[in-house]
Amino acid sequence: MAAIDLNADLGETVGGVPTADDEAMFAVISSASVACGGHAGDATSMREAAARATRHGVAVGAHPAYPDPANFGRLPMGMPPDDLAESVAMQLGALILAGADVRYVKPHGALYHAVIVDRSHARAVARAVADQSALIGRALPILGLDGEIAAAAASAGLPFVREAFLDRGYTRSGGLVPRTSPGALLDDPVEVAARAVRLVREGVVRAEDGTEVFVQAASLCLHGDSPAAVEMARAVRSALDAEGIEVRAPW
């Protein structure tokens, strides 16, 4: 039986107000990338996410970001690598202290994209994850797209897991359409569900210009703060179930 992980970015509370319907999302996903204070989230939201994960049988991943809640972690920051490593380590530690059984790490927003091309920041993130892995006694996989972060993970002795995005537009080169450009975000549950099935069955996604792009992924992502997130997640889960594709965490 084919199997795939379905992850969502959750726990993104801002000023005590959730940006997503976390309870509904946790009910249909297999992995939750939980904000741990860099771009969003606080001690309360982290504890609530850990409890939801236990209740729904969902794996928890840390979702560290540049420490920039004012911009939701979506603007690049030229942090010195040592400062970045310290920030990421503190965010991972905060989520663990909140009671989460952290199984993987996925950078958020601008940091996610920076570590694809920025070797120094990729190495800083991998170093922080490796240090935390040593403390908890197991290697934490890093989830993301190919690039410098994959190489940094390997150098640090960490597994690297590739993901694909269900609700983001792709370019013909296999990258993501910038959020500021037309076609960056998808919100049609039917379209997104069909994309999920095709990614699992064929490893292919249609880019914004109609090009067929090969995408190898062990995890599929939906953003929890999208307006249609719950409808898309339910449609994806239903489509995968109907195809006999098992939804389970690989961690």
Tokens coding 187: 């919100």
Distance CA 178, CA 200 (A): 24
Cα 59 off chain centre by: 12
Domain count, the chain: 1
CA distances from 47 to 34, 94, 108, 171, 231 (A): 10, 10, 19, 37, 25
Residue 92 is part of a domain; what is its CATH number?
A: 3.20.20.370
Q: Is the pTM of this model over 0.85?
A: yes
Tokens coding 182: 């037309």
Which residue range is the domain that position 23 belongs to?
A: 3-247
pLDDT in tens, 173-224: 999 999 989 999 999 999 999 999 999 999 999 999 999 999 999 999 999 9
Tokens coding 186: 């998808």
pLDDT at 129: 98
pLDDT in tens, 130-183: 999 999 999 999 999 999 999 999 999 999 999 999 999 999 999 999 998 999
Residue 196 carries which side chain, given as an amino acid letter? A
